[in-house]
Structures are given as C-alpha cells and as structure tokens.
Structure 1
C-alpha cells in the first residue's frame, strides 16, 4: 500500500470514528423524540376504534379531523423552520415538543367535532417545524455522503412507532375499556402517549446543542473534521444570487420535490390512519389482535428501511433507491385491495405497501438537501415538507369520504396507488443528474 493510500485510509478511519461518536450521541434521543412525534400524530387511527361510537362521529368527521391537523402543519411549516434558524434548534425543538405534547394530551377532552377539529389543527401547527427542523439540523452535522443511513436511522422511528405503538394502543384500548378513572380507553391512550412528549421536550432543552461549534463534548480535532466536510458540501452546492425567500418560492425544483413528497406521503398517511380499520374489516374484532397484526408491516418496514439506507450510501445511488420503494407502495396497496377475502394475502399487500411507502421517506430527503443551495435550504425544506404534509389532510379525508359514500375503501386505495406510482415517475425525472 502506498503512503498516500495509507494516509487516506487513516483519515477515513478517523472520520468514521468521529461520525460514529456523533451518531451515538445525537440519533438515539432524536429518534425517541420523532417516535413520539409520529405516535402523537397518528394515534387517532387507533382511537377511532372506540372514539367514533362513543362520540357518534361519522367516518367523514374522523377523516376530516385526522386530516385537518395538516392544515395547521402546512400553514406554520415555513415560519416555524425560519424561527428555528433564528432562535436555535435547542430552544425551538424543546418549545415545539412541549406545546404539541400538551395539545395532543388534551384530545382526551374532546366531545364534539368542533373540539376535535380545533385540537387537531393547533397540534399540527405546534408540530410543523419539528421534522424539517431536524432534517436541517442533521444536515449541519452530517455531510451529504452520509445522510442516507442517518436519515434511515432517524426515520425508522416511523415504523418503530407503529411496531411499538400498535400493540400498546390496542392494549390500552382493551385494558381501560371499562372506564377506569372515569376515562374511556381512547382517552387513556391520548393521556399516556401525550405526556411523555412534554417530558422529552424539557430534556431536549438540556441535551441538544445548537450546532457542532457549540457542542462541548466534541474535541477541537473532531470539530475540524466536521467543518472540513461541511465546507466541501457548501463548495459543491448550487450557488444563487437570490434572497432566501426568492430562492424558495421561485425555484421550480422545490415545487417538484414537494409534489414527489406529496405522492409518498399519500400512501404513508393512508396506511397510518386506516391500517387498523382495514385490518378490522378483514374480520378481526379484538383490539389487541388488530394491534399485533398492525405491527407486522411496521416491523418489516423498519428492517427494510435500514437496509435500503445503507445500500444507498454504499453505492452512492439515490435515484432507484427512491423510485423502487415508491413502486412497492403502489403495488402493495393494489394487492391489498384486490384480495379482501384472503386476510393473509391482504395483510401481505399492506406489508409491502408499508415497507415501500415508509422507505421512500428517508430515501427522499438526501436528494433535496444535496441539490438545494444554502440560501434555499431552511425555507425550501420546510416548503417541501409542507407540500408533502397536505397529503396528510387529503389522504385520510378522501378515504373517509369514499368509505361513507360507497361502504368500502377500495376506490380510495386505487386512487392512492395511482398517485404513488405517478410520483415515482416524477422522482426518476428529478434525479437523473444526481450524483450523491
């Protein structure tokens, strides 16, 4: 081995040790925060199993309430992410978590559709900056070449929230179904899953550093490695003379990426909000059984997400690692909808759909973070995320409306499969020149 090759290998070993240390320090806590973020967002899917009968809500009321969350989310996404850049991730993330945890807990007091809509709307507004803020935060710690596996680790909190949250939610509904403490099972679920978020928000204030320059636990040499890698990324990023807001709203790539993300999220939220109900309609009546069956797709999705993320970084390939999971999401929904009389095949289809749609999420984000200029990053990532989250409003509402109108979710799932398939084609077009 030549001296230059040996030096390069030694440098790579040092760099790997630095990023492994940062990963172990940051990702586990952020992972847990995102797990509860997602659980608080979608646990209405399990609450629905009891809540609708107790409160006499229709499927359409539920779909609108589940989806209106994302109106607040979309309206506050960009300003919240800009506020995070102004006030610092540590303070802003802590404030957001305390606010949405408290609002999510208050869902136990819902008695009318208006209460339901208002709390979901304000909870969405409180959560709006968390995900795009964390994406921006992680991009300031990890270079583009390492973001595939980091985003997969971070976003594996989504399937893990389903893996752990589904059996837990089913157990809470069953265990507290007799009305202990004057609360129904669904009310206990909101209480027990909302309060931990408030505690995590307080912890975030003390555990997070605003950036690596403020991280006292890093050595001078470790900071130098991060600074060198960030400088390299900045040198390779697109340059622009426009102001940040002009770069965000006049950049056609941002709108196209937002549309791709909308297509991915259409499948994700259809699964998250309706998976328990779809499984129940396959003939399973016990909430605990529904919880365990709902966990199967999320378990396999978590494993698949990590494997694909590692593969994407290893091969420095983003295009097909994004498009193929999206196509799996569409195919899985089609399988599930065409075999309603065979629970085994239908659950297999739902599993494939969950693996594909959820893996599309972490495979998507390294693309815009690598292709956007520094001026567009904060507002651009928030706008892309906000556009994608519109699917969180439309997807559950459309499924609920179709279910009330036709007595079946079939037509809605066909439509969502078409949306995801179309998004995969746009993703292929947008990523033709990508080399990250």
Structure 2
C-alpha cells in the first residue's frame, strides 16, 4: 500500500487533507447561519418580557405563538430538503437564510395575536430544511465516518446562540430608547436580529458551491477522491422516497422520543425568562430585563461544555443508547426540580441541569438511525425524525402556557414536561434499538478519529 510522506496510508492522508479543507470552507458560514436561525426562533422569549403586555398576550396565547413556528417548519421541512436537491445547496440555503431574516425583521410590524401567529408560521416555513439540508449537503463533502463529527461542529452555532442570544436581546431591550424611530424596544429587537440573517444568506451565496467538482480550492485528485467516496451516497439520498423511511416504526418511535426532547427544550427556551421573572417577583425581588436575560444565559454556559464532553464520550465508547437516555432523564429531573425550587439559586441550578441534559441529547441520538438504516437512508431518516420531532416545539410551549394560565403557576407544566422526557428516555431502550453484534463490529471498524482541534 502506498503511503504519504508522514507514513499514513495514502487514502487516509487524502481523506484528512480534504476533510480539513472542506471543514474550513463550509462549516464556519453554515455554523453562523445556524447561530442566526436559533436567534430568530428563540429571541421571542426575551421579547415577551415587554411584547406580551404591548400586544395584550396571555401566557397561553404567547405559548401558542411560540409553538406555531414549528407547524410551518414541520409541513415544509421535507419539501424544502427535496427542493435543495433539485436547485442546489448554494441557492437554496441562501434562500432560506434571506427569507427567514426578512420574516424575522417583519415581525416588528405585528399588531396583535393573529398577526403574530401568522409571522411565526411564516418564520417556520422560511427556515424549514436548514438542518436536514446541511445533513444532505455534507453527503457530498464528507465520507460517512466523518459526518457525525462535522454535524456536531456545525451545531456549535446553536450553542453560541444559547450563550449570546439572551444577553444580546436583553441589552437591546434595555438600551433601545423608547419610541426611537417609532419602534418599541421589542420591535427593534426583531429588526436588529433579522437584518444580519439576510447578510448571512448573501454570504452563503458567495462562499458555498453546490458540489466538489465546482470547488476551485480542491485539486483534481481531491475532487476525484470525493467523487469516488461520496457521489453514490449523495445521489441515493436525494432520490429516495421519504415516505419509505417515514413508514418505519423505529423512525416513528425515535420521532416520538425527539418530540419529548423538543417539547421540554423549547418550553425552557421560550419560558425561562418568564419563569425567572415570576419566581423572583413572588419572593419580593424585581430584576431588570437585562438582569433576567443574563440569568437566562447562565444555563447555556454550563450546557455548552457538557454537550461537547458528552458527545466525545459517546464517540469514544461508540455507545448511543445510554448517551441518549441519560441526558433525557437528567433533563426530566432538572425540570421537575425547578418545580419545587425554594430559592433563586436552586431554581437556576435546576434550570441549568435541565438545559445541560437537553443540550447533550442530539449528538448521540442522531447516530441511532444508523443502527437500522443503511448508508444513504440515514440522512433521510434524520430529516424525518427532525421534522416530526420538532412538533414538540409547538406542543411543549403551547401546553406549558395553557397550564400556567389555568393553574396560575408553572408547577403542572414542569411536571408534565418532566414525564414526557422520561418517556423519551424509555423509548430508546426498547429492544428494537438494541445494537446487534455485527453492528458493533462495523462501528468499531469505522470509528471516527476526528476532533474539533483536528481541522485546525
């Protein structure tokens, strides 16, 4: 076997060279897009501190508005992924970013619950297809043994948005002079965070190319190597009928498990500022909007490191079920704990535990379909699970808001969401998801050696 100057087998040497080039070229801009997408979908939580009173929203109507985003997202996610396969990643991902930026900025013009509902649905329609679209796009650029790590690096954008989003939104609300340019502070927030997404869309248009054969920054040898190792997989993924994957009972059950994760996770995201505000007011404290937004970012600080370490543990051990079930259970315990917290410190710790659990699920969880879906069907399975599971992002916040209005506290909502998360953990332990000996052998033979530092 031929070797590179460093002594590595030639094929492995070119794989690492191509991986490094591609990672530096495509991941930063896509992670930035994912960061902006998460800001657009979650800044509603901080905006609600002043928006709800301005628009006359009850907790239930706010929860409905927060969740309706996922209705549009669900309906259009698979069609969006198919459209990207037809029109190319460069055009379609740029279109996604530009349209969600415009819709997010236009949300500043809403006048009541009905118009807010409409804009939240449109935001979901605009953003639909981003995550599975990137998963599909990666089938052109990374061999299967590298894709999970590359998806994790792409996901850093969501982590950063969790850290920076609430303080940034709180700062905008606190510093915007009332009525400047004829806008209330929460309206200014939507414009200020929406316009940069349009710029990111234009950046995607300029930086990305649809396929390796269009990449001037790859050598002909590298293009040929990628064509040999990825082209058949990408073509099959694009042409496969998604309904065949959707009919698989295991995909449906994983969708239900992911549904519980999103129900709990997005209820936390959208309501955490209100939970902190309500808790402190009950105890005679009155925190400013900026203080509440900073406190809302604390759980994400700890969750970011936990998620990376947990994903590394899953890859190192090549174990997925325990690494999916444990964080789901931890999230359930954290949410239940928050329901019984008796002081602000205990509440913040409980919310941090819940957030860390939620944030640590996806890395291992999205490797489960590979145990029963063969090569090219894995990406379609992920898209289906992601689309269906994201309906939890509608049900969780809406249910949470209804229970708050009905009972006068967040207690019932916390306990029900905790029960859902425990159900999600139990699903991944069904016998049908138990790894088979031959699967373990295959996994061992393709164990990834990629780390974030390795692309530097």
Check the 8 A contact 1:82/1:379 in 2, yes or no. no
Check the 8 A contact 2:310/2:323 in 1, yes or no. yes
Match of 2:337 in 1: 335
* Of 132-141 and 88-97, the range deviating more from structure 2: 132-141
* Of 27-36 and 126-135, the range deviating more from structure 2: 126-135
In structure 2, distance between residues paired with 1:75 and 1:374: 26
What is the CA deviation profile of residues 365-421 of structure 1, one whole-angstrom value per residue up to 9, with x for unaligned ones? 233356434664565433221211101110100011011011111111111111111
Residue 315 of structure 1: CA displacement? 2.9
Extract unaligned runs of 5+ from structure 2.
281-285, 444-456
Match of 1:252 in 2: 249
Match of 2:144 in 1: 144
In structure 1, distance between residues paired with 2:428 and 2:55: 42
Over 3 Å counting, the alpha-carbon distance change for 1:352 and 1:221 in structure 2 is farther
In structure 2, distance between residues paired with 1:85 and 1:108: 33
Residue 78 of structure 1: CA displacement? 1.2
1:409 aligns with 2:406: no
What's the TM-score, normalizing by structure 2?
Answer: 0.87
Q: How does 1:77-92 map to 2 (within 5 A)?
A: 77-92=77-92
Q: How does 1:254-333 map to 2 (within 5 A)?
A: 254-283=251-280, 285-333=287-335
Residue 93 of structure 1: CA displacement? 0.8
What's the TM-score, normalizing by structure 1?
Answer: 0.91
Over 3 Å counting, the alpha-carbon distance change for 1:256 and 1:130 in structure 2 is same
* Of 311-320 and 127-136, the range deviating more from structure 2: 311-320
Over 3 Å counting, the alpha-carbon distance change for 1:221 and 1:311 in structure 2 is farther
Over 3 Å counting, the alpha-carbon distance change for 1:29 and 1:326 in structure 2 is same
Over 3 Å counting, the alpha-carbon distance change for 1:215 and 1:428 in structure 2 is farther
Match of 1:398 in 2: 399
Secondary structure of the structure 2 residue equivalent to 1:428: coil
In structure 1, distance between residues paired with 2:143 and 2:254: 20
In structure 1, distance between residues paired with 2:389 and 2:312: 24
Secondary structure of the structure 2 residue equivalent to 1:282: helix
In structure 2, distance between residues paired with 1:389 and 1:24: 29
1:418 aligns with 2:448: no
Over 3 Å counting, the alpha-carbon distance change for 1:232 and 1:308 in structure 2 is farther
Residue 229 of structure 1: CA displacement? 4.5
What is the CA deviation profile of residues 118-165 of structure 1, one whole-angstrom value per residue up to 9, with x for unaligned ones? 111111111111111112222442333333432222223223102111
Q: How does 1:194-205 map to 2 (within 5 A)?
A: 194-205=194-205
Secondary structure of the structure 2 residue equivalent to 1:397: helix
Residue 91 of structure 1: CA displacement? 0.8
In structure 1, distance between residues paired with 2:429 and 2:139: 23
Check the 8 A contact 2:233/2:376 in 1, yes or no. no
Q: How does 1:214-225 map to 2 (within 5 A)?
A: 214-225=214-225
Match of 1:344 in 2: 345
* Of 134-143 and 372-381, the range deviating more from structure 2: 372-381
Over 3 Å counting, the alpha-carbon distance change for 1:21 and 1:29 in structure 2 is same
Match of 2:122 in 1: 122
Provide the alpha-carbon RMSD of the alignment. Answer: 2.6
Over 3 Å counting, the alpha-carbon distance change for 1:30 and 1:171 in structure 2 is same
In structure 1, distance between residues paired with 2:380 and 2:320: 23
Check the 8 A contact 1:76/1:129 in 2, yes or no. yes
Match of 2:157 in 1: 157
* Of 114-123 and 318-327, the range deviating more from structure 2: 318-327
What is the CA deviation profile of residues 336-359 of structure 1, one whole-angstrom value per residue up to 9, with x for unaligned ones? 1121x2111111111111111012
Q: How does 1:18-57 map to 2 (within 5 A)?
A: 18-57=18-57
Q: How does 1:56-67 map to 2 (within 5 A)?
A: 56-67=56-67
In structure 2, distance between residues paired with 1:381 and 1:37: 19
* Of 50-59 and 276-285, the range deviating more from structure 2: 276-285
Secondary structure of the structure 1 residue equivalent to 2:151: helix
Secondary structure of the structure 1 residue equivalent to 2:193: helix
Check the 8 A contact 1:247/1:375 in 2, yes or no. no
Match of 2:360 in 1: 359
Check the 8 A contact 1:27/1:154 in 2, yes or no. yes
Residue 317 of structure 1: CA displacement? 2.5
What is the CA deviation profile of residues 248-280 of structure 1, one whole-angstrom value per residue up to 9, with x for unaligned ones? 332222212211211221121111111111111
Match of 2:447 in 1: none
In structure 2, distance between residues paired with 1:228 and 1:324: 39
Check the 8 A contact 1:265/1:389 in 2, yes or no. yes
Residues matched between the structures, number? 428
Residue 233 of structure 1: CA displacement? 7.4
Check the 8 A contact 1:147/1:366 in 2, yes or no. no
In structure 1, distance between residues paired with 2:318 and 2:218: 28
In structure 2, distance between residues paired with 1:388 and 1:56: 30
In structure 1, distance between residues paired with 2:316 and 2:10: 19
